[in-house]
Structure 1
Amino acid sequence: MSEESKTRTPEDRQKRISDVVTDRGSISAQELATMFGVSVMTVHRDLDELERQGIVRKYRGGVTAQPSGVFESNVSYRKKAMRTEKEAIAKAAASYVEPGMSIMLDDATTTASMIPLLADVTPLRVATNYLDALRKLSEYRGISLTALGGDYDPLHDSFLGVTCLECIDSIRVDAVFVSTSALSGRYAFHQEDRIVAVKRKMLEVAERRYLLMDHTKLGKVALHRLVPLAEFDLVIVDSGAQESALAEMKRYNVPYEVAS
């Protein structure tokens, strides 16, 4: 059975295409045309719509779900990427959480990897703008939840905007755990200004600040400068981090830990 036989409308086909791109990371327009039994021109129209929605990024001859300096991958792709590394980082990060603390998690899939580990660190108060985290944490006894509401964004599965910023500003927490898209030199970076605004506000209201980064994000930059790395109490990376990236953090006196 061809893929086209499963997709009776352009919307169905676009959903299937986004699933394929998310699974593979990148693929050519010709491959998609063959897979779905349609013309390359039809595929490009589908990709134009998916790019407009922010789900994929086109390049000459193909499409990708992978990030660039101006494009942040959608949450479906990020959930599947670097899982083992994220779990190691999350385990190291969770060691800094103690019963009775109040913590904040951003909408990053790296920080979300901490969630299964928090069930053993109760009682705990957790504040987050990430909808999937709210769903999962609501199932754990001993964890009190604060939802940081705002305008829901399906590409990030999180709440953003002015209302979210006001929610964050109304509380104070013992620690915040965030991740971002890129780290280079003395700074952390992200592609989207609205995400930058939320992460900056989260850092403002926390007593201690932790940055969780898998090694693919090190030595890279994105469109917007987030904050200087000096604002973090600790940067936690995985064992895949290159020595050059670690040496650069050491040169700038950035405290870091390599998760084993």
Structure 2
Amino acid sequence: MTGKQRGSENPEQRQKRIAEVVLERGSLSAQELAQIFDVSVMTVHRDLDELERQGVVRKFRGGVTAQPSGVFESNVAYRQKAMRDQKNAVAETAARYVEAGMSIMLDDATTTAAMIPFLARQTPLRVATNYLEGMRRLSQIGGIGLMALGGDYDPLHDSFLGGTCLECIESIRVDAVFVSTSAVSGRYAFHQEDRIVAVKRRMLEVAARRYLLVDHTKLGKVALHRLVPLSDFDLVIVDAGAEDDAVAALRRDGVNVEVAPS
């Protein structure tokens, strides 16, 4: 986005554009946004308050960010843009553990969603997911039987959550589940939101084999809620950006780790 935006935009239009800029750049100051949109800093703060209320961005002293923290997960629009090459490498490696005729489950993570193009090589398959965009993409692949895990729609994750989703998951069994998470530290996987943790745990319970897909930026991070021990996974797949020491530490803890080729 170049040049100043018109200050005559209505608040809803301006807030949408502010969100687009923050999601694109990651973090900005209120002063920078005021200059970009040709409005006062006070107006920017009002807009940011509304966007924070919606869960799109997180305010900090003097600015705003779309990046995750140990307490807040980032918006799905931001996560779709982050670490794309690394996620694709991890996803392609994970897809090699899928064979024709299997039933699998994918969570609502953008890393596991990166597996979808590679699944077209492994059909026929039965795939269950609670990720709406994933449903759309899977429905367009011949040979894939799609099972939608419904519930309460959450636009920030573009997925279905809540009690109905948990009941849907409980009602089936799958050969394998592929999940991701926002933080891996010591012997555990972590996530910022307990409602997301509840869905991921239930997914792990109904699968014969369990795979964790994470890019290297998740290693050594801690989020608010402990998900499960890493030993609960049959395999943890990371990208080649992971430091050798971090991978070695996981293996010393008895975690089965595979590093996806770059």
Distance 2:223 2:133 in 1: 25
1:208 aligned residue: 209
Letter in 1 for 2:144: I
Distance 2:192 2:165 in 1: 19
Q: Which segments of 5 or more consecutive residues in structure 1 lack a partner in the other structure?
A: none
Distance 1:117 1:162 in 2: 31
Distance 2:100 2:114 in 1: 18
Question: CA shift at 1:87, angstroms?
Answer: 0.5
Question: CA shift at 1:239, angstroms?
Answer: 0.3
Q: Identity over the aligned pairs, expressed in percent?
A: 75
Q: TM-score, normalised by structure 1?
A: 0.98
CA pair 164-240 structure 1, distance change in 2 beyond 3 A: same
CA pair 223-7 structure 1, distance change in 2 beyond 3 A: farther
Count of paired positions: 260
Distance 1:113 1:3 in 2: 35
1:32 aligned residue: 33
Q: Per the alignment, in what secondary structure is the counterpart of residue 108 of structure 2?
A: coil
Letter in 1 for 2:113: A
Q: CA RMSD in A?
A: 1.1
2:123 aligned residue: 122
Q: Cα deviation per residue 1:204-260 (whole Å; 9 max; x = unaligned)?
A: 000000000000000000000000001000000000001221122012110000000
Q: Which segments of 5 or more consecutive residues in structure 2 lack a partner in the other structure?
A: none
1:257 aligned residue: 258
2:244 aligned residue: 243
Q: Cα deviation per residue 1:135-173 (whole Å; 9 max; x = unaligned)?
A: 001011100010000000000000000000000000000
Distance 2:18 2:83 in 1: 22
2:152 aligned residue: 151
Matches within 5 A, 1:48-63: 48-63=49-64
Distance 1:250 1:25 in 2: 33
Question: CA shift at 1:5, angstroms?
Answer: 2.4
8 A Cα contact 2:7 2:37, kept in partner? no
Q: Per the alignment, in what secondary structure is the counterpart of residue 28 of structure 2?
A: strand
Distance 2:88 2:121 in 1: 16
1:194 aligned residue: 195
8 A Cα contact 1:180 1:188, kept in partner? yes
Distance 2:88 2:222 in 1: 24
Question: CA shift at 1:2, angstroms?
Answer: 5.1
